[in-house]
A and B are shown apart, each in its own frame.
Chain A
């Protein structure tokens, strides 16, 4: 039960990270930025490249500090990259239609989302790729001494196109032992290296996302409430024409809002993919939708609302199926967790359309 609760909270924290971007952008230009999930995906991919090419996959183990540093590097790259993509997207896609009305902007957002997804498929392939995990490299001669776990053997092979790639095969399933025959076969087949995957402890990843949210929430609150840029954001959100005439460069303020929203989504992207172990161009879709639900549950436009909504949704997605399975003996309950999330959205929209912390907006007459 506690385990499910913690899982739910950790997942909720990831939703909250994404929901923040939705809610901030909505707050300032009243746009539901459907491409936000793609900023998240882009961040996750950048994190993937850092971890794969510079980080954990290349590091000799055991070495706790460099591993930690490589995750920090991945998170930084993901956040900055997602933020930069958001700024570019806003500049070329949203700014030109800003005065064309909300429907035009919404349609643009859906298109941007599809374009980014397809660009990612073109660039990185449609197949899901395993998210890098720390590896312990083992000498082939020393295989007998290796702990029985997920062992992978690597060899260079030439593809039909003449390209040399590193080919990996899983040689021993988790928990099984490596026998002499397998070892001999590996060597005969020309495998130069063997490594063991050391999965991150789930407790650690959960702890990390919750801690990250705990650190980020006050920073964001501070930026929006206390700084001049934050005040400018609130001014633009309420009356952007007055803000312009008071010397506030609204293009810059809006760009910063996009940057900041995508920056935190980048953190969520890496955290999400580390927890689920894979990344693909469509990675952003479902968490993006869920985070949108979280933002609506919390009250769109409200920063504390996005955090609360994320945590509520994550917990509900974990505890409700758990209760249904344990209480009613319904084994398939967890397969229905997405349906539960969307049902929650419908309930909120019917009974409290402004969300938990949202305020009713009186239409100006």
Chain B
């Protein structure tokens, strides 16, 4: 198991946002996390990325207990995410958005940069190459110098994915990646996500409200309601699960 959460619980004052959730991801899994609004999906993401510390429960990632790891540490250990409401740095160009995150090769201190030592140039070149190739891979090779705010919506989503990949993640969390896309774009996104998983050896956990998208792409699905895990299984199993239909899907089966 590359990722394992046991009894994950988060309370905010009197409100229990996530309650005793267990979750397991094996290397290469493509798993969905669904549930009605307020079910605790985003809180789960926040706990997994270290943005929030769980009230109780444990999280293991790549065999290491990371329950208390901070957000930037989780990111460096290889957990990357995209955001439901796009959060790119709009005052930097597309290339810099990715370069700010990229770690390539040896570390380079401020002093080396200030003195423009050869090491600085080497690192800088490596970072630029890596960022450029990631952006090209996601079809953004022509807009390197543009401001992210000027890009079409779909491109902004793909830029977020490129930025997340710059962290060399093992686990990629996608928060509503298909939100606001039309059916053609969604179909293309499915392709992209599958391809990226293979190319970058990713394990992917995604949240989305579009059942066609989630059922179409995920191999397994976790369903949350009121902070609790009410079901877990393959798309086919989930589609016919009584509890899930009651809480979320409505009669679709």
Which A residues are closer than 8 A to B by beta carbons?
219, 222-223, 226-229, 231-232, 234-235, 237-239, 241-250, 256
Contact = CB atoms under 8 A, between A and B. Distances in A.
24 contacts: A222-B114, A223-B110, A223-B113, A227-B110, A227-B120, A228-B108, A228-B113, A228-B123, A231-B100, A234-B89, A235-B92, A238-B90, A242-B88, A242-B89, A244-B72, A245-B75, A246-B80, A246-B101, A246-B164, A246-B167, A247-B75, A248-B100, A249-B72, A256-B110
A248 B89 contact: no
A335 to B, nearest CB: 42
A227 B113 contact: yes
Contacts of B113: 222-223, 226-229
A66 B127 CA distance: 43
Given A223-B110, A235-B92, A248-B72, 14 more contacts: A226-B124, A227-B110, A228-B100, A228-B124, A234-B96, A237-B91, A238-B92, A239-B89, A242-B88, A245-B71, A246-B80, A247-B80, A247-B101, A247-B103
B100 A245 contact: no
Interface string B93-105: 0001001111100
Contacts of A245: 49, 51, 71-72, 75, 81
Nearest to A259: B110
A245 B89 CA distance: 13
Contact of B76 (A222, A227, A247): A247
A84 to B, nearest CB: 15
Given A227-B110, A239-B89, A248 B101 contact: yes
B243 interface: no
Given A219-B114, A246-B167, A247-B75, A232 B100 contact: yes
Contacts of A229: 110, 113
A232 B72 CA distance: 12
B220 interface: no
Nearest to B99: A231
Interface in B205-247: none
Nearest to B108: A228
B113 to A, nearest CB: 4
Contacts of B164: 246
Contacts of B108: 228
B10 interface: no
Query: Which 7 pairs between the two chains have the least Cβ-Cβ distance?
Result: A247-B75, A231-B100, A242-B87, A227-B113, A244-B71, A246-B101, A238-B89
Nearest to B91: A238
B128 to A, nearest CB: 11
Chain A interface, >50% SS class:
helix
B163 interface: yes
Contacts of B3: none
Interface residues of B, number: 34
Interface in B44-94: 49, 51, 70-72, 75-76, 80-81, 83, 87-92
Contacts of A232: 100
B90 A246 contact: no
B92 A231 contact: yes
Contacts of B123: 228
A238 B100 CA distance: 13
A247 to B, nearest CB: 3
A300 B99 CA distance: 26
A305 B247 CA distance: 56
Given A234-B92, A245-B71, A247-B167, A223 B114 contact: yes
A228 B72 contact: no
Nearest to B97: A235
B127 A228 contact: yes
Taking each of B81, B92, B101, B127, which has the highest tally of chain A beta carbons within 10 Å of its own beta carbon? B101
A249 B101 CA distance: 11
A228 B114 contact: no
Contacts of B167: 246-247
A242 B80 CA distance: 11
B48 to A, nearest CB: 11
Nearest to A238: B89
Contacts of A243: 89, 100
A227 B120 CA distance: 9
Contacts of A222: 113-114, 116
Given A223-B110, A231-B100, A256-B110, A246 B51 contact: no
A150 B78 CA distance: 68
A222 B114 CA distance: 8
B202 to A, nearest CB: 16
A228 B89 contact: no
B100 A234 contact: yes
B131 to A, nearest CB: 11
B211 to A, nearest CB: 27
Contacts of B100: 228, 231-232, 234-235, 243, 246, 248
A233 to B, nearest CB: 9
A219 B110 CA distance: 12
A46 to B, nearest CB: 20
Contacts of A238: 89-92
Contacts of B90: 238
Interface in B124-183: 124, 127, 163-164, 167
